[in-house]
Structures are given as C-alpha cells and as structure tokens.
Chains A and B, each alone.
Chain A
Amino acid sequence: MTTAHAEAANGTLPHEPERATAEGRNKVLAFWLFLGGEAVLFGTLFATFLALRNQTNGGPSANELFHLPLVAAATFILLVSSLTSVFAIQAMHRNNIAQLRNWLILTVLLGLGFLGLEIYEFSVYVRHEEFGMTTSAFSSAFYTLVGFHGAHVAFGIAWISLLIGQLSYKGLTVVTAPKIYVSAMYWHFIDVVWVFIFTVVYLLGKVG
C-alpha cells in the first residue's frame, strides 16, 4: 500500500499508474465486468423500446416528434467529449497533471452541454407536443431508455467533477489513477450507448 502523494512530481509514478497495484488492476477488471452488466441493462431497454416503438396510442409518433439537427448536435458534442477523455488518459500516462485536469474539465463541460440539450428536448416534447411519460407505450419506452442514458451522463458528470477535485488535493497517485481511468471507461461506454440510441431511436424513428 502506498501513501505517497506526490509521486508524479517525483517522477516515481509508473507509466500506467492505473495498473500499478493489485487493487488498481482489480478495479479495472471489475469495472469491465460491471460494464458487461450495464450492456445487458441497456440491451433490455432497447428491446423494450423496439417492441413498443409503434405503440403511440393516438399520441405523437417518432416521425412527428424528432428534430434531427438538435439530436445531431447533441451527438456531436458527446462524441467529442469521448475524444477529450481519451486525451485526458493520454495526459495521465505522460504524468502531466495540468493537461489531465484541463481535458477532464473540458469533458465535463461537453457532458453538461449534452445534458442541457437533452433537457431542452424533453421539455419541448412535454410542453408543446403533449408527449409525456403517460401518453403512450411509445412515450414510456422513449423517456425510460433515453432518460436512463441521460441519468448515466449526469452521474458521470458528477463523478468526473469529483475526481477533478480529488486530483487537485491528492495529486495523481496509484490510488487516484485507477479511479480516473475507470471513469473514462464509463464515459466511453455511455457514448457507445448513445450511438445506438441515435441510430435505433432517432434515425429509425425518422425513416421507419
């Protein structure tokens, strides 16, 4: 167990600090497993959505509702945030704390932008289209799938923000590095899920 705080500054931090301790390696492995479970979770939500996507119960349908430019903008923002989190991990591997912090902050900001667009989108549907949770089976499935993803994004934002805070007073150590690495894995995962949502919910909703 190491308690050193300023290993990065001393140059004693290994190249892949997230895998330097057994605990770190365990954490990364367990997080892969956890993402496997998350994949089943979203898979079930997708299956539900596909089963119910045409059950509009007289309410608005996907085709009437969706406004692709807005969703495309949100998609773009989220994809860029994945890229910035890759840069963050690369900075971490170079032991460059300042860059690491800046890339993480940028990732959080992009995440907030995405979330803002999503909240705006939902509020338009609810207020102007009379499309709420109770409208139809389609609406229930839509809000649950997309909302679950949104909640994941919100959680990710809170989590990474906290890690940024920890980074500034604990520094980069073999204890904080696995946390940062794992949060980046999580962030990529929700990005990948979004790509599926974009395709299955929005594109398919427009054309099918």
Chain B
Amino acid sequence: MDWITTVDHKKIAILYLWAGGLFFGIGGLEAILIRIQLIKPMNDFLDAQTFNELITMHGTTMIFLGVMPVIFALMNAVIPLQIGARDVAFPFLNALGFWTFLFGGILLNLSWIMGGAPDAGWTSYAPLSSSTYSTTHGVDFYTIGLQIAGLGTLIGGINFLATIITMRAPGMSYMRMPMFAWTTFITSAIILFAFPAITVGLVLLTFDRILGANFFEVGGGGSPVLWQHIFWIFGHPEVYILILPAFGIISEVIPTFSRKRLFGYSSMVFATILIAFLGFMVWAHHMFTTGLGPVANALFSVSTMLIAVPTGIKIFNWLFTMWGGQVRFTTPNLFAAGFIPTFTMGGVTGVMLASAPADFQFHDTYFVVAHFHYVIVGGLVLGLFAGLHYWWPKMFGRMLSESLGKWTFWTFIIGFHMTFFVQHFLGLMGMQRRVFTYLPNQQFDLLNLVSTIGAFLMGVGMIIFLINIYLTSRKPADASNDPWEDGRTLEWTIPSPPPEYNFKQTPLVRGIDAFWKEKTAGHTAMTPAEPVGSIHMPSATAIPFVMSVGIFIAGLGFMFSRDEFGNALMSFLFNNYIVTAIGLLITFGAMLIRSLYDDHGWHIEPEELEGR
C-alpha cells in the first residue's frame, strides 16, 4: 500500500527500478529465444509469425519499457540529491508518470496472452502495421500501450526540467551542476520536444487501424513514408534520450574513481547541448533507402556525421580525466572504462552508416543490428550498470559485492562482444535482419553460433548481477554517507539511504563538485544555507495509481471497440465505447478529486530532525 501511494522520489526510483528490471528480463528472454532460433540454419524452433512477434516485442520492450525506466530510476534516485533539493518539483506528477508508464507496459505485454503480440517491427512501418497486413490486435496493443507509457515519460520529462530549473541549492549555478544533472536536464528537454511527435504518430496509426482512417493507406491517398518521417523525427532524438544519461553517469563515475575533476567540464556541457540540437536534424538518415533523392540524402548524411564531433570531444575528455589520475578500478569504474571503447566502436559504425551510398549496402542487414547494439548495449547498458553499482549504496544503504560485480562485468562484456562483434561481418556478408531463418553454407553458420553463445554469456552476467542483489539485500544496511570515500557531489554528504526529507538543511554550494571542494578545504560536511527549520512534505496519495488504472481501462475498451464478442453484454459494453467511457470517467473523476481537495501536505518539525 505504501508503495502504491508514495510520492517520494527515492521510493519512486525503486519502483522504476523493479518495473524496469522486470521488463528488461522479459526483453532479455525474448532476445534469448531469437538467438536460439538463429543458432543454426533452417532452424524450426520458432515459426515465422512468432519470430516476428519476438523481434518486435524485444525491441519495443527494451527501448521503451526496459532501459527508459532504469534511466528514470537513476534520475529519480539521484537528481534531487545532486542538486541539493528536498524533492522534485511535482511529487504527485512524479508518481503519476510512473504509474502510467507501468500500466502502458502491462497493456503492451498483455498482447502475449490476449491474441497475438505486435509483429510489425519495433518501428511499426506502414503498410506492414496496417490492418491489412497485421490482422491480430498486436499493433493495437503497440499503439495504445506505448501511448499510455509515453504519457508517463512526458510527465517525467517536464517534472525534471522544472525541478532542475527551480530547485537547485543556493550557489549551484548552471555551470556548477554535476554532469549527470546536466544530461538529465538536456534529456528531459529532448523528451519534451520528441515525444509529442510519436504521440501524434501513434494516434494516426490507431485511427487508421480502428477508425478506418487513411493516413498511411496508399489506397485512400495516404503515405507510408509519412509514418517513417514521424517515427524517426521522434526516433532519432529518442536514441539521444537513451545515451545522454549514460554520458552523464560516466562523467560522474570516472572523476570519482580518478580523484580528479572532470576534464573539460564546460566543453562537456556544450557538447551535450550540441548533440541534443543536432539530434533533431538527422532523422532521415534512417530513410536513405526510401527514395528521398540525392540532395536530401547528402544533407542528412553530412548533418549526421557532424554529431561525431561533440561525441568525440566527450570521449577524449573522459580519457584525459583518467590520464594521470589515481585510477581505482572498482566495479562502477570497470563498467565506465569498458563503456568508452565499446561505445566508440558503435560511433564508428554509425559514421559508416551515415554515408548514404554505403548505407544502401548496410541497410536492413545485421550490420545495423550490430551498430545499434554497440551503442545501446555497449553504451547505455554498460553505463546503467556503472550507475547502478555506483549509486546502489546511496539508494539502499548496502554496498554490492565487488567480486560478484567484477564477475558480472567480465561475463557481460565478453558475452556482449561475442554476440555483436561477429554480427558486423554477418551484415557485410549479406545476412538480412528480421528474417526468421537463413540457408546453410553461406558462411553464416559459425558466426551465428558464436553470436548465440555470446548471448547466453550475457545472460549469465545478468544472473550474477541478480545474485549479487539478492545476497546484498540480506546484509545489514551499514553503508556510510560517502561509501566510495572519494564522492564529489552533494548526494554523498547525506546518509545512505537518505532520510525522506533528503537534506536537514539545504547546503550552500561553493563550486563545481561541491563536496570535493569542501573536502579539499579540510571540511567534512557542507556549510548549510539555512537554519534547521520545519520541513514541508507532500502527502501520500493513491490518486496517480487510480488515474492510471482508468487510462488502462479506457485503452483496452477503445482497442476492442470494433470486435465481435460471443457474449451480448460484452459486445454492448465494448462496441458502444462504454468501457472506454468508464475508464475515462475514473481518470477524470480522480483528477477532479485531486483538484477539489487541496493537498496541504505535512511538516517535519526541528525536534524530530534532531531526535534521530
């Protein structure tokens, strides 16, 4: 119950972590099944339809329901602490964002048991995704599930923007903000400007499928290429929504374990902004082969390659930070160090793909699959592992085991390279992506076998990580404020895990790496910016949960509105949009209650604060 009504950012972080972990597990299982199917030529382990459903759900689940919430988990756990705030700007919205995400994700995954998962690829290209070619409810689950989950992401993005703009501790100017706070800020801005585009795209596709509209139906005058534009104008920025937080994590971990300031802090900030800006200019590099013409292809090709410049700046800054530092290879830092070469390789294949004539060869082959897994798994997932190991003691008060952490790292990274390195060659040799089998004796056999073994090894790494979590959770919560001993930022100045009000007194920030600055001046704690006083807290509430349940019901109702049911009552309820209306009534009713009864919250008084 506590978990359903909580509005505390630290608890919401944990909710995001478990939910994201769950979906990550489902996506991982789907990946293993895909790799088993491809272990040998002409395998009949899966049929073509199931294979299509698996690749679609794997991609969709991983991107929208797996890594995004883990990113949000770390942001929620860390950002208010790093900027010296007692909470996010809108605790209620924070909870609402989580619950809409979760119910969207559940809706999407219900498709497995309710008559067929989405099968048109995670990009849902029309006309494959039209009701002509995708006849189950699969793509409806995709459009409506993602719509609901996307709402949660958008809410989260606005919340973090407002939080970072208004709730920084005194003295923390923008140019003194930790890099993870910066990348969260920029990521949230990208979310704000990219997600509404996919919102519209999903609405249009829903209308095509459920209301018989003609947006992407060539027969009615529509255009499938329009879908690709809308999808990628969201989709390319989305990959920066994923990678920028990882950049932020790496920029926290490397300085801590090098006992050095981040090299080129201001160039890091501007590189981040530049990447975000360019990210919106390059979407059509996913569409070189749709026939946009040589001029458009050339322009998008050049603008894409430009992104390599700020990205390169970042890579060199991390290397220069380690250079001459007192580097300690703790588990978080191992992951951070592993991130750098792996992500760089993904960037290099990206530049190769960005060359339009070359892309005509690579497009829709395993070369593309290798590229994006190098950036997303070799980049983002390694970054998330670094962040999770790094902040785990702050979130839970317990240090993860270092030796198991190293085992996780080595099995995962070796498995990763085994899985995806060979896929570059499979792609160059012409193996197509999204096809459920291949013929023998095209020299695909051995490399596919290697790839599948690698995937299992990654799975082993994940299991070791889970064991580590389990064993750690049975140890006493005795982590100190600054368990890595070289913490540089504000989250390391308060207990692990932090009390629900975070800071007894808001700290005064006197420079970049505020805590480190005090340490070098010989202080062991921050100078407070205010006297101890009464702290205002928001009250817990189940309204966000109820609102999300309502949206979930409305989504299901709309999806089945054109179905025929054996049961007369069911037909009546669904075909007349009554279920949809009930769902919306629940949501708006809850909103109404929220608006009528002002939530004045409660206070923690100074005596209580001292009494600890």
Contacts and interface: CB of A to CB of B under 8 A. Distances in A.
A137 B196 contact: no
Contacts of B598: 3, 170, 175
Nearest to B218: A137
Contacts of A136: 214, 220-221
Contacts of B536: 1
B229 to A, nearest CB: 8
B200 interface: yes
A50 B464 CA distance: 53
Given A44-B201, A51-B226, A52-B215, A36 B192 contact: yes
B230 interface: yes
A38 B166 contact: no
A139 B219 CA distance: 14
Contacts of B193: 36-37, 40
Max chain B C-beta neighbours (<10 A), residue from A36, A56, A179: A36
B75 to A, nearest CB: 16
SS class, residues of chain B in contact with chain A = helix
Interface string A112-145: 0000000000000000000001111111110010
A33 B192 contact: yes
A140 B226 contact: no
B612 interface: no
Contact of A26 (B90, B196, B200, B226): B90
Given A33-B192, A55-B221, A3 B600 contact: yes
B226 A134 contact: no
Count class of interface residues, chain B? 35 or more
A137 B217 contact: yes
Contacts of B162: 26, 29-30, 33
Interface residues of A, number: 38
Contacts of B195: 37
A37 B154 contact: yes
A47 B465 CA distance: 46
B211 interface: yes
Contact of A48 (B158, B204, B595): B204
A168 interface: no
B596 interface: yes
Contacts of B212: 133-134
Interface string A43-66: 011011001100111000000000
A40 B197 contact: yes
Contacts of A137: 214-215, 217, 220-223
A41 interface: yes
B154 A134 contact: no
B200 A133 contact: no
Contacts of B295: none
B192 A162 contact: no
A201 to B, nearest CB: 16
Interface in B190-237: 192-197, 199-201, 203-204, 207-208, 211-215, 217, 219-223, 226, 229-230, 233
Contacts of A56: 221
Nearest to B215: A140
B433 to A, nearest CB: 28
Nearest to B213: A140
A166 B166 CA distance: 28
Given A1-B600, A26-B89, A34-B158, A44 B200 contact: yes
Contacts of A15: none
A30 B162 CA distance: 6
A45 B600 contact: no
B165 interface: yes
Contacts of A3: 598, 600
Nearest to B163: A26
B221 A29 contact: no
A56 B220 CA distance: 8
A30 B207 contact: no
B220 A44 contact: no
A133 B208 CA distance: 10
B6 to A, nearest CB: 20
Interface in B122-172: 154, 158-159, 161-162, 165-166
A66 to B, nearest CB: 18
Given A48-B215, A166-B596, A140 B207 contact: yes
A134 B211 contact: yes
B277 to A, nearest CB: 15
A67 interface: no
Contacts of A55: 214, 220-223
A19 B386 CA distance: 41
Given A30-B90, A162-B592, A133 B211 contact: yes
A22 interface: yes
Nearest to A179: B595
B476 interface: no
B222 A52 contact: yes
30 contacts: A1-B601, A26-B162, A29-B165, A30-B89, A30-B90, A33-B158, A33-B192, A36-B192, A37-B158, A37-B192, A40-B196, A41-B196, A41-B199, A44-B200, A44-B201, A44-B230, A45-B200, A47-B229, A51-B223, A51-B226, A52-B226, A55-B214, A133-B207, A133-B212, A137-B215, A137-B220, A140-B213, A140-B215, A144-B203, A144-B207
Given A30-B89, A36-B192, A37-B196, 9 more contacts: A33-B162, A55-B220, A57-B214, A57-B219, A57-B220, A137-B217, A137-B221, A140-B220, A144-B215
